[in-house]
Chain A
Amino acid sequence: MYPSIHPSIHLSTLTSISSSPVIIYVHLAVQQLQTLCFLANFPLAKMAAQEVQPSETIAKLKSESEALKTKLEEERAKLHDVELHQVAEKVDPLGQFVMKTRRTLKGHGNKVLCMDWCKDKRRIVSSSQDGKVIVWDAFTTNKEHAVTMPCTWVMACAYAPSGCAVACGGLDNKCSVYPLSLDKNENLAAKKKSVAMHTNYLSACSFTNSDMQILTSSGDGTCALWDVESGQLLQSFHGHAADVLCLDLAPSETGNTFVSGGCDKKANVWDMRSGQCIQSFETHESDINSVRYYPSGDAFASGSDDATCRLYDLRADREVAIYSKESIIFGASSVDFSLSGRLLFGGYNDYTINVWDVLKGTRVSILFGHENRVSTLRVSPDGTAFCSGSWDHTLRVRE
Chain B
Amino acid sequence: CFQLFLLLLRFELPSSRKIFKTRVVNRKMTHSSVDLPPKGGFSFDLCKRNDMLTQKGLKAPSFLKTGTTIVGLIFKDGVILGADTRATEGPIVADKNCEKIHYMAPNIYCCGAGTAADTEAVTDMVSSQLRLHRYQTGRDSRVITALTLLKKHLFSYQGHVSAALVLGGVDITGPHLHTIYPHGSTDTLPFATMGSGSLAAMSVFEAKYKEGLTRDEGIKLVAEAICSGIFNDLGSGSNVDICVITKGHKEYLRNYMEPNPRTYVSSKGYSFTKKTEVLLTKITPLSERVEIVEVAGEAMEE
Answer whether A and B are interacting partners: no
Give the B-binding residues of A (Cβ under 8 A).
none
